[in-house]
Amino acid sequence: MADIIQLLPEYLANQIAAGEVVQRPASAVKELLENAVDAGATQIQLIIKDAGKQLVQVVDNGAGMSATDARMSLERHATSKIRTTDDLFRIRTLGFRGEALASIAAVAQVELRTKPRDQDTGTLLLVEGSQISSQQPVACPDGTSISVKNLFFNVPARRNFLKSNAVEMRHILDEFQHIALANPQIAFSLFQNDLEVFNLPSGKLSQRIVSLLGNGYKEQLAACEEVTPFITVRGFIGKPESAKKSRGDQFFFVNNRFIRSAYLNHAVLTAYEGLLPKDTYPFYVLFLDLDPKSIDINVHPTKTEIKFEDEKTVYAIVRAAVKQSLGLHNMAPSLDFEGDVNFAPIQPLNLGGSQKSTFDSSSFRPDALASAASQAAQPTPREPRTSSGSGSSTTRSDAYERQVPPRPTEQAKRELEEFYKSLSQINVPEVEREATAIGVPVPSASALTAAQTAAAEIPKAVTTSVPVVPASVPVLPAATPAAAPQLPLRESSGSTGGKVLQLHQQYLLVPVKSGLMLIDQAAARERILFEQYAQELERETGTSQTLLFPRTVTFSPQDFAVLREVEEALRALGFRFSDFGKNTIAVEGIPADVPARDEKELLESLIEQFRNSAGLVKLERREQMARALARRVATTAATARLSDTEMTALVDRLFACQVPGYTPDGRRTLVMLEMSQLQAFFTR
The tens digit of pLDDT for each residue in 195-253 reads: 888 999 999 999 999 988 888 788 888 999 999 999 999 999 998 888 887 777 899 99
Say whether both 96 and 238 belong to one domain: no
Say whether both 193 and 221 belong to one domain: no
Predicted confidence (pLDDT) at residue 300 exceeds the cutoff of 50: yes
Domain containing residue 242:
205-328
Residue 257 lies in a domain: yes
Place 534 in a pLDDT band, splitting at 50, 70 and 90: confident
Say whether both 177 and 209 belong to one domain: no
Say whether both 629 and 547 belong to one domain: yes
Query: Cα–Cα distance between 92 and 589 in angstroms, integer?
Result: 50
Say whether both 60 and 184 belong to one domain: yes
Taking a C-beta distance cutoff of 8 angstroms, is the pair 96, 71 a contact? no
**Residues 6 or more apart in contact with residue 666 via CB below 8 angstroms:** none
Say whether both 279 and 184 belong to one domain: no
Predicted confidence (pLDDT) at residue 459 exceeds the cutoff of 50: no
Work out how many domains the chain is built from and give that number: 4
Pick 225 or 461 by higher pLDDT. Answer: 225
Alpha-carbon dihedral angle through residues 62, 65, 71, 74, given to the nearest 10 degrees: -30
The tens digit of pLDDT for each residue in 76-130 reads: 777 777 767 766 666 766 765 556 788 888 889 999 999 998 898 999 999 998 8
pTM for the structure as a whole = 0.63
Query: Cα–Cα distance between 629 and 590 in angstroms, integer?
Result: 11
Q: What is the DSSP string of 23-53?
A: SSHHHHHHHHHHHHHHTT-SEEEEEEEGGGT
| H or E, element range at 127 | strand 122-128
- Kindly state the average pLDDT of the residues 652-680: 88
Predicted confidence (pLDDT) at residue 487 exceeds the cutoff of 60: no
Residue 382 lies in a domain: no
392 φ/ψ sector (left φ>0, alpha ψ -120 to 50, else beta): beta
Residue 4 lies in a domain: no
The tens digit of pLDDT for each residue in 617-632 reads: 445 667 777 887 888 7
Q: What is the DSSP string of 610-623?
A: HHHHHHHS---HHH
Residue 663, helix vs strand vs coil: coil
Residue 474 lies in a domain: no
Residue 374 lies in a domain: no
Say whether both 190 and 213 belong to one domain: no
Say whether both 47 and 191 belong to one domain: yes
Using alpha carbons, select from 585, 599, 590 the residue that is nearest to residue 545.
Answer: 590
Give the 3-state secondary structure percentages of the chain, helix then strand then coil, rounded to 5.
40, 20, 40
User: For strand 584-591 and strand 544-554, is the pairing parallel, antiparallel, or unpaired?
Assistant: antiparallel
Query: Cα–Cα distance between 231 and 291 in angstroms, integer?
Result: 8
Q: Please state, for a pLDDT cut of 90, what percent of the chain lies above it.
A: 24
The tens digit of pLDDT for each residue in 330-359 reads: 666 554 444 443 444 444 444 444 444 444
Taking a C-beta distance cutoff of 8 angstroms, is the pair 105, 14 a contact? yes
Say whether both 304 and 222 belong to one domain: yes
Say whether both 215 and 118 belong to one domain: no
Query: Cα–Cα distance between 239 and 636 in angstroms, integer?
Result: 24
Residue 597 lies in a domain: yes
Pick 51 or 375 by higher pLDDT. Answer: 51
- Last residue of some domain: 328, 357, 388? 328
Say whether both 177 and 299 belong to one domain: no
- Last residue of some domain: 461, 485, 501? 461
The tens digit of pLDDT for each residue in 16-55 reads: 766 667 889 999 999 999 989 989 999 999 999 999 999 9
Residue 189 lies in a domain: yes
Taking a C-beta distance cutoff of 8 angstroms, is the pair 284, 181 a contact? no
Using alpha carbons, select from 70, 45, 72 the residue that is nearest to residue 56.
Answer: 45
Residue 487 lies in a domain: no
- Last residue of some domain: 157, 180, 200? 200
Taking a C-beta distance cutoff of 8 angstroms, is the pair 221, 238 a contact? yes
Residue 457: phi and psi, rounded to 5, are: -100, -30
103 φ/ψ sector (left φ>0, alpha ψ -120 to 50, else beta): alpha
Query: Cα–Cα distance between 330 and 317 in angstroms, integer?
Result: 20
Sheet harboring 187-192: ordered strands across? 131-138, 122-128, 109-115, 143-149, 55-60, 43-49, 187-192, 195-200
Residue 235, helix vs strand vs coil: strand
Predicted confidence (pLDDT) at residue 279 exceeds the cutoff of 90: no
Say whether both 82 and 196 belong to one domain: yes
The domain that holds 622 is classified in CATH as 3.30.1370.100
The domain that holds 187 is classified in CATH as 3.30.565.10
